[in-house]
């Protein structure tokens, strides 16, 4: 029995050392404050060190090797814990400001609502505004899915509609430095801060549909008025907290989907764990299965009507943009309301 147990222990250690070596090497490469040559040398040396420890696990000096690797890993983690997100930087113009909000009863006043006028992905007129919204006039919540890399991955934007015809979209994004770009791998390693944007749909949606060429889809959600107001309040609360204490964006743990899920749970909505919350391109299927979309039509019909590209291009980012992109999109009838009760199964009905 000793040999099989030893083999299992060694196999587990090999996996742990390999993972820790890969993670530490990438952390050193992306975040060590040295010139590129120094970062590369540090990452390569740690990788070689990890490989030598894996080899040593099969020899007599495995205990020494494990202890040495543990000590080195602790040093890396201590250094890692000292890295804090930058509060002030030379940010790209579209993520330069963090929205904040104040409530006076049900009246919400937002500062730094983005209202850019886009002429191309690089040519725009920059506008940041202050706006007020009456939460008692909140009438709809919509989910936008902007597919930028195939059907599995999308950027998620939530938009709140009011009975005066205005829509307020919320986008959780990477706060890039000026001239920087989005890198899912780099953003696993404290590469960029998080920013929460509140914006006009003509801005944040139109940029993606009309200029970036992303496949933007809209799904109109079922929600009670109370749940919608709570979710909007959570957006404001998180935005204010982020303005006070910056946080890092993380491609897996703190992104446009995970942050929304956290907000929804805080607001009291049950969001059961599901693989589609990670592979977020399939969120519409998840929402449909949960009864969060209009279920009187099939999911394929919802998908077909959800694509806004043609309507967005025909509209050309006019003041009527939000109304134009919703033409023909199935939605729950009437105002915000709770999802319908699930029908009991035949067995359950027979038992009553």
Q: Which residues contact 61 (CB under 8 A, 6 or more apart)?
A: none
Q: Tell me, what's the pLDDT at 352?
A: 30
Q: Tell me, what's the pLDDT at 266?
A: 53
- Helices assigned H by DSSP within 60-169: 62-81
Q: Tell me, what's the pLDDT at 333?
A: 55
Q: Which residues contact 130 (CB under 8 A, 6 or more apart)?
A: 109, 110, 111, 112, 113
Distances (CA, A) of 305 to 143, 299, 326: 14, 10, 9
Q: Tell me, what's the pLDDT at 263?
A: 63
Structure tokens given for 128: 């940041």
H-run or E-run covering 127: none
Determine contact, residues 297/319, Cβ cutoff 8 Å.
Answer: no
Q: Give the burial class of 41: count Cβ atoms within 10 A of its Cβ; 0-12 exposed, 13-18 middle, 19 or more buried.
A: middle
Q: What is the pLDDT along the chain (352 residues), one digit of tens a residue?
A: 457 888 898 999 999 999 999 999 999 999 999 999 999 999 999 999 999 999 999 998 999 999 999 999 999 999 999 999 988 889 999 999 999 999 999 999 999 999 999 999 999 999 999 999 999 999 999 999 999 888 888 999 999 999 999 999 999 999 999 988 878 889 899 999 999 999 999 999 999 999 999 999 999 998 888 888 988 999 999 999 999 999 999 888 887 777 777 766 654 566 777 888 788 888 899 888 888 888 889 999 999 999 999 999 999 999 999 999 999 999 875 434 444 444 443 333 333 3
Q: Which residues lie across from 104 on neighbouring strands?
A: 107
Q: Kindly compute the dihedral angle of the four CA atoms of residues 312, 315, 320, 322, in this order, to the nearest 10 degrees.
A: -10
DSSP assignment letter at 233:
H
Q: Give me Rg for the CA atoms of the chain.
A: 24
Q: Tell me, what's the pLDDT at 337?
A: 46
Residue 253: CB atoms within 10 Å: 10
Q: Give the burial class of 131: count Cβ atoms within 10 A of its Cβ; 0-12 exposed, 13-18 middle, 19 or more buried.
A: middle
């Amino acid at each position: 029995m000793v040999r099989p147990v030893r083999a299992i222990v060694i196999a587990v250690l090999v996996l742990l050392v390999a993972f820790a070596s890969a993670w530490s090497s990438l952390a050193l490469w992306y975040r060590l404050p040295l010139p590129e040559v120094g970062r590369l040398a540090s990452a390569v040396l740690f990788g070689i060190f990890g490989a030598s420890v894996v080899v040593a696990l099969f020899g007599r000096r495995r205990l020494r090797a494990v202890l040495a690797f543990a000590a080195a890993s602790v040093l890396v983690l201590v250094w890692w814990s000292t890295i804090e997100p930058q509060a002030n930087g030379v940010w790209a113009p579209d993520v330069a400001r963090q929205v904040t909000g104040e409530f006076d009863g049900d009246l919400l006043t937002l500062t730094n609502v983005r209202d850019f006028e886009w002429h191309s992905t690089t040519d725009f007129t920059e506008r940041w505004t202050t706006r007020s919204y009456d939460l008692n006039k909140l009438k709809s919540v919509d989910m936008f899915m902007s597919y930028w890399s195939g059907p599995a991955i999308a950027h998620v934007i939530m938009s709140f509609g009011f009975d005066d015809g205005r829509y307020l979209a919320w986008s959780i994004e990477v706060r890039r430095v000026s001239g920087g770009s989005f890198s899912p791998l780099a953003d696993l390693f404290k590469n960029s801060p998080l920013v929460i944007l509140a914006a006009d749909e003509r801005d944040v949606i139109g940029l993606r549909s009309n200029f970036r060429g992303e496949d933007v889809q809209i799904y109109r959600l079922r929600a009670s008025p109370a749940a919608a107001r709570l979710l909007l309040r959570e957006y404001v609360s998180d935005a204010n907290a982020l303005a006070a204490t910056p946080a890092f964006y993380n491609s897996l743990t703190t992104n446009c989907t995970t942050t929304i899920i956290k907000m929804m749970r805080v607001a009291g909505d049950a969001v059961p764990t599901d693989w589609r919350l990670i592979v977020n391109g399939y969120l519409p299927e998840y929402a449909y299965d949960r009864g969060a979309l209009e279920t009187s039509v099939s999911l394929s019909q919802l998908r077909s009507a959800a694509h806004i590209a043609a309507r967005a291009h025909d509209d050309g980012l006019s003041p009527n943009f939000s109304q134009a992109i919703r033409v023909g999109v199935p939605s729950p009838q009437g105002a915000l309301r709770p999802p319908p009760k699930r029908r009991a199964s035949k067995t359950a009905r027979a038992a009553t």
